[in-house]
Amino acid sequence: MDQSFNLPDSTDWLGTPLSLLAPLESSLRCQVCKDFFDNPVITSCSHTFCSLCIRRCLSTEGKCPACRSSDQELKLRRNWAVQELVDAFNTARPKVLGLAQAEKERLEKREDDAKQPAQKKRKVSRVAEEESQVEEASSQGRQTRSSRTRNSVETPGASQVIPEVIEDSQDDDEYIPEDGMVACPICSQKMKEEAVFGHLNVHTEEAQPPKPATFGSFMGPSQKGLSLGKPPDRLPAINYSILKDISLRKKLRDLGIPEWGPKQLLQRRHTEWMNLWNANCDSKSPKSKRVLLSELDIWERTQGGHAATQSPFVSSSNVMRKDFNANEWSSNHDDDFKRLIANARKKSEAQVRSTIPGAASDGLSEPAQAPTQQHVEALPPNGARIENSEGSDTNNTIDLSG
Amino acid sequence: MASNVAQKRLFHEYKNLSTNPPEGITAGPVSEDDMFYWEALIEGPGGTPFEGGVFAAELKFPKDYPLSPPTMKFIGGGVWHPNVYPNGTVCISILHPPGDDPNHYEHASERWSPIQSVEKILISVMSMLAEPNDESPANVEAAKMWRERRPEYEQKVRDEVKKGLGL
């Protein structure tokens, strides 16, 4: 769970100077799963969802979740443009977000500094007339800066070709002012503030090689599909009502998926498999059948036949399906269970206590206690044991006679 | 990743609600170990007898969320309203899947769909507090009172709100 709490989300942009990217990111996410579109497909009513999400919706309801017009899985078409957008956005996202967050921190820092005038040079220079001491400091700061710029002008070649990146302070002493250096948000190299933007081009150039690759792969799948001549076959929908249990079971066996359970479960499992399979057919890089089988297994454990939470007859009783949650039940009734256990313990303790002194009478009335008694027999020290031995004797005689 | 779909989606909704909460609404999972059980706080809408009250509710999500809607129940009682069962369960069209219409009065367009969200549910419940729907009441007594003896209804609601606040 912890891991999922670090999931990237469109709200990551909020609070940064790029908060307007939040709605952009939301629009690149599926409205059903709220994740980035995964194999996006478009419905005949022109709404886009992940292939698997819309297939699951259509197989439960037969309607578009956005506008509720009826639709069929057969009419879904891949939406490559959206896939492209998502891929490109995802490639750029970490770096853009990194920049936005660095900028946010910088702005916050500046604000903090502004609250402490002595440390803030620029702000101070505006308020300079009031505090002469600070003015001195700020003018010094200005001096160093101007000398710095002069220096960089003196060595034009270096500042143009190498965008003022300082790796080692010993290489060029002229570039080591104590402050005024900022870290590149991407590679954390220290450099002058003015140089950051120029320097960032280095990173964008670095990042470019994968870009044409993703663009090229846009055309990839269809070409690959053609050249291989073997796109995976889609599974047809089945009209379950005309199939008998046995033939449905055989179908599942032929598909290579589990075939146990009552017909309801078989239907649901087949539907889930069909959705997984057909959504995979929409993928640029289809997964292997083994991966799909493991996904079906997860379904089996969370919603299918192995789900502790649901009876196999789910769809026949909607109330059960929606309301009953075994985990919740056990956590809600945890106290009850503990109380029952405590009661049971108390009872057995009470029995033990009552059996030790008056063992004879108890033993007579409830022969079932014999095991407890014998167990107790071993535990107490000598004093109790003498008394108890009588009881166990009588007990034994009863056992023999009965 | 069948259950992950539900968990991830609930996580996104939670994150969105906590960073960008609609006015008068707070909601989130009770424990981060169980994303399927949430608690929500709703402020009574202004200009209604519920004004000034804060109402706690629990939300339970099915494993196949968002295909099926969650259920919502006010906890601690004290919500005297035509569309809230005496045990606190909320009866509102957005919480009903379009498939079944036990009450035969709801339009499919008002019902649950996977693109609805916790936020939309809570906003709907807020507006339900302001404007009861007495077509198919969950609390018949409250509905009758609301329809026929409005001042008494409003007084009772205000009393319940005060009681709820411990006044």
Which residues from A are below 8 Å from B when comparing CB atoms? Answer: 1-2, 4-5, 7, 9-11, 14-15, 31-35, 53, 56-57, 60-61, 63, 65-66, 68, 272, 295, 298-299, 301-303, 307, 309-310, 318, 321-323, 325, 327-328, 331
Q: Does B160 touch chain A (CB under 8 A)?
A: no
| CATH code of the domain containing A40 | 3.30.40.10
- pLDDT computed for residue A172 by the predictor: 46
User: Helix A195-207 to helix A80-115 angle, to the nearest 10 degrees?
Assistant: 160
A366 lies in some domain? no
Q: B148 or A210, which is more confident?
A: B148
- Is the CB of A68 less than 8 angstroms away from the CB of B13? no
Q: For residue A146, what are the CA distances in angstroms to A157, A172, B37?
A: 19, 17, 62
A12 lies in some domain? no
The set of catalytic residues of B is 91
User: Helix A263-281 to helix A51-61 angle, to the nearest 10 degrees?
Assistant: 150
* Domain limits for position A276: 240-303
For residue A365, pLDDT over 50 is answered with no
Distance of alpha carbon A63 from alpha carbon A57, whole angstroms: 7
Q: Region B138-146: what's the mean pLDDT?
A: 92
- pLDDT computed for residue A103 by the predictor: 92
Q: Measured between CB atoms, which of A65, A321, A327 is closest to B62?
A: A321
Question: Which residue, among A85, A83, A102, A86, has the nearest Cα to A42 in the 3D structure?
Answer: A83
Q: Which of A109, A125, A141 is the last residue of a domain?
A: A109
Strand order from edge to edge, sheet including B34-43:
B25-31, B34-43, B54-60, B71-74
Q: Region A267-288: what's the mean pLDDT?
A: 92
What percentage of chain A's residues is helix, strand, coil (to nearest 5)?
65, 5, 30
Q: Which of A255, A280, A303 is the last residue of a domain?
A: A303
A41 lies in some domain? yes
Instruction: Tally the domains of chain A.
Output: 2
Q: How many helices and strands (H and E) does chain A possess?
A: 17, 5
Q: Measured between CB atoms, which of A68, A303, A325 is closest to B108?
A: A68
Q: Region B21-46: what's the mean pLDDT?
A: 92
- Is the CB of B2 less than 8 angstroms away from the CB of A272? yes
A276 lies in some domain? yes
Q: What are the tens digits of pLDDT across the range A7-60? A: 888 989 988 999 999 999 999 999 999 999 999 999 999 999 999 999 999 998
The domains located in chain B, with CATH, are 1-165 (3.10.110.10)
For residue A124, pLDDT over 50 is answered with no
Q: Which residues of A touch B11 (CB under 8 A)?
A: 4-5, 7, 9
Q: B167 or A270, which is more confident?
A: A270
Q: A104 or A373, which is more confident?
A: A104
Q: A335 or A278, which is more confident?
A: A278
Q: Which of A109, A143, A165 is the last residue of a domain?
A: A109
For residue B42, pLDDT over 90 is answered with yes
For residue A141, pLDDT over 70 is answered with no
State ipTM: 0.84
For residue A143, pLDDT over 90 is answered with no
- pLDDT computed for residue A392 by the predictor: 42
A35 lies in some domain? yes
A265 lies in some domain? yes
- pLDDT computed for residue A228 by the predictor: 47
For residue A358, pLDDT over 60 is answered with no
- pLDDT computed for residue A304 by the predictor: 83
User: Helix B2-19 to helix B118-130 angle, to the nearest 10 degrees?
Assistant: 60
Task: Give the range among A295-299, A301-305, B61-65, B118-122 with minimum mean pLDDT.
Answer: A301-305
Residues 6+ apart with CB under 8 A from B137: B82, B83, B143
- Is the CB of A32 less than 8 angstroms away from the CB of B9? yes
A294 lies in some domain? yes
Radius of gyration of chain B (CA): 16
Beta strands in A125-225 (DSSP E): 181-183, 190-192
How far is residue B47 CA from its own chain's centroid?
19
Q: A82 or A391, which is more confident?
A: A82
- pLDDT computed for residue A57 by the predictor: 93
A259 lies in some domain? yes
For residue A240, pLDDT over 60 is answered with yes
Q: What are the tens digits of pLDDT across the range B69-83? A: 999 999 977 789 999
Distance of alpha carbon A268 from alpha carbon B131, whole angstroms: 40
- pLDDT computed for residue A356 by the predictor: 53
Q: Region A89-103: what's the mean pLDDT?
A: 94
Beta strands in chain B (DSSP E): 25-31, 34-43, 54-60, 71-74
Average pLDDT of chain A is: 70
CA torsion angle B119 B121 B122 B127 (round to 10): 120
Distance of alpha carbon A158 from alpha carbon A138, whole angstroms: 28
Question: Which residue, among A141, A90, A89, has the nearest Cα to A113 in the 3D structure?
Answer: A141
> The pTM is what?
0.62
In percent, the amount of chain B with pLDDT more than 70 equals 91
Q: Which two tokens mark A168?
A: 């080692």
Q: Which residues of A touch B115 (CB under 8 A)?
A: 31-32, 65-66
